[in-house]
Amino acid sequence: MTPIKQYPPKPARVYFFGTCLIDLFYPEAGLDGIRLLEREGIDVRFPDDQTCCGQPAYTSGYHDEARAVAEAQLDLFREPWPIVVPSGSCGGMIRTHYPQLFSGTPREAQAKEVASRVFELTEFLVHVCHIKLIDKGRPEKVAMHTSCSARREMGLPDTGPALLSQLQSVELVEQERTAECCGFGGTFAVRHPEVSGAMVNDKVQAIESSGAEHFVTSDCGCLMNIAGCCRHREASLDGEHIASYLWRRTA
């Protein structure tokens, strides 16, 4: 796997940006991400005042409002430590869009500096920690769904599968059209519910047809959408954030 950027040596300390969905719906995924990092000998700092990255407002066209939300995050990461984000969409917002969002403002240089230190969790575990996993779980077939933001915005289609491939008893199965969106897309699912519903039904059907017993993803928006559709269809599949899956099988 070819890294998409220059990666630093494993640091002694990192910031952890938890994301709204982890805070409100999947706190255990955030804790498991922190546990994985701490097991690698890293001191993890979680700024208590963190809130939203500003993406919902930004992608809805409300750039002034997004800038106000994002500005509150910039001052949380004053030390020059990496910022690890367990979400490709939130990571992509900070790393890719903060420099654009603050272009021409007094905060532009600060936004670029913060953006340069952002890493998605699976990216950080693979390319910075060079993590080695020892599987302690039962044999299982698993499908991986990589979010559109992680895949396209951050250029990370392979880091999740690379981690799962280290688990000796896990068979990573390929779903049909694996790169297709699950239909969540943040506010897209609210603005276009019929289209979103059709897309996630296609995604669940593809995962079921792959023979997977379980699916994992590195984004909680995708997890919420796909798992919700599974429940609605009364499918036997269940899903998990990759941080929780890795911790559960290796702890």
* pLDDT tens readout for residues 14-34: 999 999 999 999 999 999 999
Mean pLDDT of 216-221: 97
Q: Which of 102, 90, 99 is nearest to 149 (CA)?
A: 90
- 140-250 is a CATH 3.40.50.1860 domain: yes
Q: How far is CA 187 from CA 13, 27, 91, 177, in A?
A: 34, 21, 17, 23
Tens of pLDDT along 171-201? 999 999 899 999 999 888 889 999 999 999 9
The angle formed by the CA atoms of residues 14, 19 and 25, to the nearest 5 degrees, is: 130
pLDDT at 186: 84
d(CA 172, CA 162): 10
Give, for 54, the enclosing helix (H) or strand (E). Answer: none
pLDDT exceeds cutoff 90 at 238:
yes
Q: How far is CA 251 from CA 35, 89, 160, 247, in A?
A: 9, 27, 18, 5
Degrees, nearest 5: CA angle 226-52-244: 45
The residue-averaged pLDDT of 109-132 equals 98
Q: What are the residue boundaries of the structural domains of the chain, listed by start?
A: 13-127, 140-250
pLDDT at 109 over 80: yes
pLDDT in tens, 148-167: 999 999 999 999 999 999 99
**Contact status, residue 17 vs residue 94, Cβ threshold 8 Å:** yes
